[in-house]
Chain A
């Protein structure tokens, strides 16, 4: 019977674990200063290694912006991303083809996780882009994406997730 509280605690913490996507501790400082100055520092586990290589292969044409780096920094960041790249269900469907970069917001996992988000939220000025994680995930900068931390702009006073 002593094991019951343990089982309950373990079961309850499972969804929370899936909601934790911290940036791995061995991130080079350039990851935050270069990638993070223009966009949210995406957890490397959200794209496959080959997709990260595609992204890093042509930074002059980076999703509609010039993000060119010196080669040493570029290599450093690519190594980090590939080292912690994801695999399986979470990264499939990112949509890379010849000349088209993958997007972690196109994966089946991402779309399923966000299928309840109203269209008005995506269009809200405070969001602007599906890549703007922190617009709704208020603790995203700390690597936490739990339901209870979600506040959606454009829903009249911060619409909260209904399952919360």
Chain B
């Protein structure tokens, strides 16, 4: 029985560690479009004064390091090619979508928008 529990635990932790950008995107919505994601990434929502767009903190290029528009603290690149830790933890991804969408977009993002966003920052980088 103990071995079974140990196995179940290993399997569960293995699953958690196996989050990949494409799996996380698929979990949000099928048929993600990096083109739509790119448009979303560059759009000026103008809801927040200091953070009118994703680019306010993450720069025009998600493969480059950013800087928090209010505090000045450095932000590691969003693109997994430059920062392999990105989009490997679904709970963390959702937490940041929740916070940043409310702040920048003025509402929660739709599952489709989230999938597109991941496709854009991940693709070809």
B102→A63 contact, CB < 8 A: no
Which residues of A line the B interface, CB within 8 A?
38-40, 60, 63-68, 126-129, 131-132, 134-135
Question: Is B20's beta carbon under 8 Å from chain A?
Answer: no
Q: Which residues from chain B contact A39 at a C-beta distance below 8 Å?
A: 68, 71, 73
B residues less than 8 Å from A38 (CB atoms)? 68, 70-71, 73
B64-83 interface (Cβ within 8 A of A): 67-68, 70-73
Q: CB-CB < 8 A to B103: which residues of A?
A: 65-66
Within 8 Å by CB of A132, from B50, B51, B71, B100, lies B71
Q: Report yes or no: B100 in contact with A66, Cβ–Cβ below 8 A.
A: yes
B35 at the interface (CB under 8 A from A): no
CB atoms of B50 and A64 under 8 A apart: yes
Main secondary structure of the interface of B (DSSP, over half): loop
With a CB–CB cut-off of 8 A, which chain B residues contact A135? 72
The answer to the question of B27 belonging to the interface, with a C-beta cut-off of 8 Å to chain A, is no
Query: Given known contacts A64-B48, A65-B51, is B71 in contact with A128 (CB within 8 Å)?
Result: yes
Distance A137 CA – B81 CA, assembled complex (angstroms)? 31
Pick from B68, B72, B73, B102: contact of A66, CB below 8 A.
Answer: B102
13 A-B pairs in the complex with CB atoms less than 8 angstroms apart: A38-B71, A38-B73, A39-B68, A39-B71, A64-B50, A64-B70, A65-B48, A65-B103, A126-B72, A128-B68, A129-B71, A131-B71, A132-B72
Give the CA-CA distance A131 to B68 in the complex, in Å.
Answer: 11
Given contacts A60-B102, A68-B98, A68-B99, A131 and B48 within 8 Å (CB-CB)? no
B50 to chain A, nearest CB (A): 5
With A and B bound together, what is the CA distance between A40 and B71 in angstroms?
Answer: 8
Alpha-carbon distance A127/B72, docked complex (angstroms): 6
